[in-house]
């Protein structure tokens, strides 16, 4: 995509800090994560009108209604300097690429849509979202869904979970008759298990901290649920272990694994039978140093990049079609955001009008010398309707200017209307804004 012209600018502060698989390793991403998401959102809310935090296995994104400088300063105060920070139109473009799956490690993967919805739901629940942030994320999600309907970008697309299965298959030359242990029964565990169920395996074991959830997943794929307390016993029985829990700390440790590996040696063998462990959790499930255990080969999200590159090569043409569609949608996105920016300008106009309405309503009621609630109600309704009708054309024109990026013209129109009664403007804050659109 080319640069942005002066006519295509966003006139409200909007910024995003991004760190992803493009510019960071799995270790870097782990260190950049915010372990307590609610605490982070609460802290950020003190600095920005709206905040959203999106954290997946291969990215950390912070979207704010605020300036690039303010976001940079905030992250720096938390000791985070590794983020790439975008502002204005580039934020909108990034959100569209993100939702479309173009920016994903596995191009076209569908999980990002659900992850964005979950992040928005958390922001709303924590009370840190804003109208602008919600509209931006919802618009991006809508475009992401449309991209998948209009192109084949996700045809045959693999998730991180199924990419892990493909990696194991490549390493072993096939998974037929193999024993596989899946640790974790969340969304990623489900994706891994589904990818495995079609491979003709001898056994699929499913372990999870909550045994009932392991049972539910195992029943869906014809596997066997196991207790997490028996983890090392089933590691000992497996050819491949794929771990994808949401635990905040490692669950596979070096020394217990070393003991378990002793049982994978036949009496005349000098070394234990090899085992592959693929860790796609974030933060990582496998303790540092596990790869030093004899017979153990550990792979991480970073090792899935080869699968990603093959995936991209197969769908490059579809990705280009998606980018063309996103380019068309970007223009509408800019207009939408600028229209929202006009609301601040319009609130000034309606504050001014509401101050006049209340003043003249009260004068009329006083002149009638009536305490009849019905009379007061009729006059109040009449003045509300009149203000709304008198300002309707001006409202449309102001919003139209904002959508076209002519924010100064929109502000000029408001000044032209309101400058004749500055006193009402000054009093408006005291009278309220019941007439605001």
The string of pLDDT tens digits covering residues 62-103 is 999 999 999 999 999 999 989 999 999 999 999 999 999 999
Write the pLDDT tens digit of every residue in 283-339. Answer: 899 999 999 999 999 999 888 877 777 766 667 788 889 999 999 999 889 888 887
- Domain residue limits, the chain: 15-157, 160-307, 340-431
Residue showing tokens 């217990």: 256
- 57, 136, 401, 424: the active-site residue: 57
Residue 227: half-sphere exposure toward Cβ, Cα within 13 Å: 2
Tell me if the bond preceding 404 is cis, omega within 30° of 0: no
Multiple choice CATH, 160-307, 1.20.59.10, 2.40.50.840, 3.40.50.2020, 3.40.50.720: 3.40.50.720
CATH class of 15-157: alpha beta
Q: In what order do the strands lie in the sheet with 51-56?
A: 51-56, 59-64, 15-20, 84-87
Write the pLDDT tens digit of every residue in 237-258. Answer: 999 999 999 888 999 999 999 9
Residue showing tokens 């970073």: 302
Q: Which long-range contacts (CB under 8 A, 24 or more apart) does 223-230 make?
A: 223/182, 223/193, 223/197, 226/181, 228/183
Q: DSSP 3-state assignment of 6?
A: coil
Reading the block at residue 24, the tokens are 């960071």
Nearest one of 40, 60, 56, 59 to 48, comparing CA atoms: 40
For this structure, is 401 an active site residue?
Answer: no
CB 315 within 8 A of CB 108: yes
Give the pLDDT of residue 90: 96
């Amino acid at each position: 995509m080319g640069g942005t012209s002066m006519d295509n600018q966003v006139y409200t502060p909007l910024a995003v800090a991004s760190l992803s698989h493009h510019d960071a390793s799995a270790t870097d991403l782990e260190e950049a994560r915010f372990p307590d998401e609610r605490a982070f959102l609460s802290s950020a809310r003190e600095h920005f009108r709206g905040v959203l935090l999106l954290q997946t296995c291969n990215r950390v994104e912070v979207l704010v209604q605020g300036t690039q400088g303010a976001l940079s300063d905030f992250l720096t105060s938390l000791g985070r300097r590794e983020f790439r920070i975008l502002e204005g139109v580039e934020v909108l473009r990034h959100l569209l690429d993100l939702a479309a799956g173009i920016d994903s490690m596995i191009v076209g993967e569908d999980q990002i849509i659900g992850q964005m919805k979950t992040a928005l739901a958390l922001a709303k629940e924590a009370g840190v979202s804003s109208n602008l942030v919600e509209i931006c994320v919802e618009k991006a999600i809508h475009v992401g869904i449309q991209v998948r309907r209009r192109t084949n970008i996700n045809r045959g697309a693999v998730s991180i979970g199924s990419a892990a299965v493909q990696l194991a298959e490549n390493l072993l030359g096939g998974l037929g008759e193999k024993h596989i242990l899946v640790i974790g029964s969340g969304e990623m565990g489900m994706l891994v298990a589904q990818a495995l169920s079609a491979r003709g395996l001898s056994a699929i074991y499913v372990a999870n901290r909550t045994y009932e959830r392991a049972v539910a997943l195992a029943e869906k794929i014809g596997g066997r649920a196991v207790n997490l307390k028996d983890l090392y016993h089933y590691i000992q029985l497996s050819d491949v272990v794929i771990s994808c829990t949401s635990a905040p700390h490692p669950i596979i440790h070096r020394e217990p694994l070393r003991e378990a590996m002793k049982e994978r040696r036949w009496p005349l063998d000098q070394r234990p039978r090899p085992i592959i462990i693929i860790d796609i959790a974030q933060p990582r499930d496998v303790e540092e140093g596990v790869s030093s255990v004899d017979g153990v080969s550990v792979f991480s999200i970073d090792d899935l990049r080869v699968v990603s590159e093959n995936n991209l090569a197969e769908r490059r043409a579809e990705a280009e079609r998606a980018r063309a569609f996103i380019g068309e949608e970007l223009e509408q996105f800019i207009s939408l955001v600028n229209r929202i920016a006009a609301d601040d300008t319009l609130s000034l106009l309606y504050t001014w009008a509401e101050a006049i309405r209340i003043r003249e309503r009260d004068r009329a009621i006083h002149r009638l010398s009536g305490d009849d609630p019905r009379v007061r109600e009729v006059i109040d309704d009449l003045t509300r309707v009149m203000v709304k009708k008198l300002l309707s054309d001006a409202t449309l024109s102001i919003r139209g200017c904002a959508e076209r990026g002519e924010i100064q013209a929109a502000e000029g129109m408001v000044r032209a209307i309101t400058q004749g009664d500055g006193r009402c403007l000054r009093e408006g804050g005291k009278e309220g804004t019941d007439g605001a659109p």
